[in-house]
Structure 1
Amino acid sequence: MLRRMDIESVVVGGGPVASLVVLRAREPRDGERSLQLPIRIGSVEATAITMGVRERQGGRPMTHDLFCSAISALGGRVDSVRVTAVQGTTFFAQVDLTRADGERVSLDARPSDAIALAVRLEVPVFADDEVLRTAAMPDFNGVERDEKAHELQEFHEFVESLSPEDFNVTHGDQDGE
Structure 2
Amino acid sequence: MDIQAIMVGAGPVSSLIVLRPRTAHKDEESIKLPIRIGVVEATIISTGIEGAPIKRPMTHDLLLSCIHEMGGSLNSVEIVDVRGTTFYARLNISCESGRHIEIDARPSDAIALAVRQGVPIFADEQVLKMATMPDFEAVERQEKEHEMEDFHDFVEKLSPEDFT
TM superposition score category, shorter chain reference: 0.7 to 0.9
Amino acid at match of 2:116: R
Q: 1:8 to 1:32 in 2, by over 3 A?
A: closer
Match 1:9 to one of 5, 9, 34: 5
Distance in 1 (alpha carbons) for counterparts of 2:4 and 2:26: 21
3-state SS in 2 of match to 1:35? coil
Q: Residues 51 and 116 of structure 2 are in contact (CA less than 8 Å); yes or no, is this contact kept in structure 1?
A: no
Indicate whether 1:97 and 2:120 are aligned. Answer: no
CA displacement at 1:81 relative to structure 2: 0.2
Q: Tell me, what secondary structure is at the counterpart of 1:98? A: strand
Match of 2:148 in 1: none
Greater RCO structure (CA 8 Å; 6+ sep): 1
Residue 11 (structure 1) shift: 1.1
Choose from 121, 129, 135 the match for 1:133.
129
Give the unaligned 5+ runs of structure 2: 142-164
Which of the pair has more CA radius of gyration?
1
TM-score by length of 1: 0.74
- Kindly provide the CA deviation profile for residues 2-23 of structure 1, in whole angstroms up to 9, marking residues without a partner as x: xxx1000111111021101110
CA distance in structure 2 between the aligned counterparts of 1:55 and 1:62, rounded to whole angstroms: 13
Identity of aligned residues (%): 52
**Contact 1:22 1:37 (8 Å CA) reproduced:** yes
Deviations 1:60-94 (A, max 9, x none): 11000100111111110000000000000000000
CA distance in 2, matches of 1:128, 1:57: 33
Residue 40 of structure 1 aligns with an amino acid whose one-letter code is R
Query: Distance in 1 between the 2:26 and 2:4 partners?
Result: 21
**Does 1:85 find its partner at 2:81?**
yes
TM-score normalised per structure 2: 0.79
1:117 equivalent in structure 2? 113
User: Unaligned regions of 5+ residues in structure 1, if any?
Assistant: 148-177
**Equivalent in the alignment of 2:62:** 66
More helix by share: 2
Partner deviation per Cα, 1:120-171 (whole Å, 9 max, x = no partner): 0000000001000000024557x59xx7xxxxxxxxxxxxxxxxxxxxxxxx
Match of 2:44 among 18, 41, 48: 48
> Using the alignment, how far apart are the partners of 2:55 and 2:27 within structure 1?
46
> CA–CA distance in 1 between the matches of 2:54 and 2:92?
29
The AA in structure 2 aligned to 1:103 is: R
| 2:53 aligned to which of 43, 57, 71 | 57
